[in-house]
Amino acid sequence: MKRFMLIFALVVLAVAGGVAYFADSDPDGLDAVTQQGCSVVQTERGESLEGHCIAQHAGDHALADGPLADYAIGGDERFTGVAGVIGAVVTLLAAGGLFWGLRRRSGSEEA
């Protein structure tokens, strides 16, 4: 079982580190859907939306300036793979901790 978990962890880290370079820091699918009914207009202060759409009420996420925002470390796209590995490690630790905490216990604690 330990060998399986080690191989699993190595595969996850390799995939997270490699596939992360293909992640787009500016995905357009959700943006396109939320901007339906509006048109993007260039102004002196940047882009503005005219019309009626969901995106008019959108704002930056509270963690938009965070260290792992936009699938990169500090906004530097050269470290996208590192951000993917960090995300995979945090996810594996959280899931492992959850499964460890919820596991069935042997002995008198069984229900």
- Domain count along the chain: 1
Residue 4 has a pLDDT of 92
Q: Looking at the predicted structure, is the pLDDT value of residue 111 above 70? A: no
Is the entire prediction scored with pTM above 0.75?
Answer: no
Cα–Cα distance between 100 and 96 in angstroms, integer?
Answer: 6
Instruction: Write out the residue range of the structural domain in which residue 63 sits.
Output: 1-102
In 3D, which of 71, 61, 82 has the Cα closest to residue 18? 82
Q: Is residue 77 part of a domain?
A: yes
Task: Indicate whether 39 belongs to any domain.
Answer: yes
Share of the chain above pLDDT 70, in %: 90
Please name the residue that has the structure tokens 């978990």: 5
For residue 59, being part of any structural domain is answered with yes
10 in a domain, yes or no?
A: yes
pLDDT at 23 over 80: no
44 lies in a domain?
A: yes
64-110: pLDDT as tens digits: 888 887 777 887 878 888 888 898 899 989 998 998 899 877 765 55
Q: Give the residue carrying structure tokens 């492992």.
A: 96
Asked if residue 86 lies in contact with residue 3, where contact means CB atoms within 8 angstroms, the answer is: no
**Cβ atoms of 71 and 23 closer than 8 Å:** yes
Classify residue 111: in a domain, yes or no: no
Integer Rg of the chain from CA: 21
Q: Is residue 51 part of a domain?
A: yes
Domain annotation covers residue 107: no
Q: pLDDT tens-digit profile of 59-75?
A: 878 888 888 877 778 87
CB 34 within 8 A of CB 58: yes
